[in-house]
Chains A and B, each alone.
Chain A
């Protein structure tokens, strides 16, 4: 019953568009200032120094390209898998930072917005993960139908 209600074409396309746009926006913000994003990653104190710039250069592009392909309905399940994996990874990193008592900028949408890591950010990410799991599941059903 619930599955039937959730398996709604309009709901699916709406959530997919929102999900993709969030990642495109987040990625674009980071691409616009890679040096600051590299500094933000360093503040998490989890990554080796030599890898910071590479992560700052690569990660935003992965978000943007996967987001664009998702809006475009190209390789949906693969792009959803990438974005969901990133989301889970970000959430784990934020949880670790909160547990370590760090009061740093999240850098989730670049450095311009000044969002800090914290419980609110974790809850926001968990909601996004729910949306991601929903999309992953129903993209699979749609693929099967085809």
Chain B
């Protein structure tokens, strides 16, 4: 079926289209940045939870653990329910980012005034930040991302638990 495919022509079409697309995007009034701008977040290392309003902050492991011990925050696990079931930070609530929609927010025990610390696997995952952005749009005020994630938590031998998603 594919015996007569001319690879050279195939590459011409693929790269020719790419060139046209990039040229059009450069000169078009509705053109967009080639690479999406990655948002920068400021990092809190010592602050009151309610000092940051209407924005998202990263928090250091030490600060997170101090809040965790006082139990004054709600911890949100943004990973999927299967990862969550295998193990998560003790007391965390699972809100899988991939299936999160603004209309299902009432399914979770969180309120806009709550201080929420959101995490995912490790530094290289961005679903915790994405979930925080989605919650920010829903007028959640105190949003913090624990960027080091669950991997750091395990390495530090901090409390974890296994359970079904809730």
Task: Please report A residues at the B interface, Cβ cutoff 8 Å.
Answer: 31-35, 38, 45, 48-50, 52-54, 56-58, 60-62, 64-66, 69, 75, 77-79, 81-82, 100-103, 136-137, 140, 143-144
Contacting residues, chain A, for B14 (C-beta < 8 A): 62, 82
Interface core residue of B21, B127, B130 (most chain A CB under 10 Å): B21
User: Is B30 close to A, CB under 8 A?
Assistant: yes
A-B pairs with beta carbons under 8 Å apart, 16 shown: A50-B38, A53-B33, A53-B34, A57-B22, A57-B31, A57-B34, A58-B22, A65-B13, A65-B17, A75-B9, A77-B5, A78-B9, A78-B10, A101-B99, A102-B99, A137-B1
Interface core residue of B5, B16, B99, B126 (most chain A CB under 10 Å): B5
Contacts across chains A and B counted by CB atoms under 8 Å: 95
With A and B bound together, what is the CA distance between A48 and B99 in angstroms? 17
Q: Hey, what's the 0/1 contact readout for B72-108 against A, CB within 8 Å counting as 1?
A: 0000000000000000000000000111010000000
With A and B bound together, what is the CA distance between A48 and B14 in angstroms? 21
User: Is B159 close to A, CB under 8 A?
Assistant: no
Q: Which B-chain residue is minimally distant from A101 (CB atoms)?
A: B99
User: Is B48 close to A, CB under 8 A?
Assistant: no
Judging by beta carbons under 8 Å apart, are A61 and B30 in contact? no
Contacting residues, chain A, for B97 (C-beta < 8 A): 45
Contact partner, A49, options B2, B20, B101, B126, Cβ 8 Å: B126
Task: Please report B residues at the A interface, Cβ cutoff 8 Å.
Answer: 1-6, 9-10, 13-14, 16-18, 20-22, 24-25, 30-36, 38, 97-99, 101, 126-127, 130
Contacting residues, chain B, for A101 (C-beta < 8 A): 99
Judging by beta carbons under 8 Å apart, are B99 and A66 in contact? no
Contact partner, A62, options B17, B126, B130, Cβ 8 Å: B17
Judging by beta carbons under 8 Å apart, are B13 and A66 in contact? yes
Contact partner, B10, options A34, A58, A81, Cβ 8 Å: A81
Judging by beta carbons under 8 Å apart, are A60 and B30 in contact? no
Additional 16 contacts, C-beta under 8 A, given A53-B36, A57-B21, A69-B13: A35-B30, A45-B130, A49-B36, A50-B35, A53-B33, A56-B32, A57-B22, A62-B21, A65-B20, A75-B13, A78-B5, A81-B2, A82-B14, A100-B99, A136-B1, A137-B1
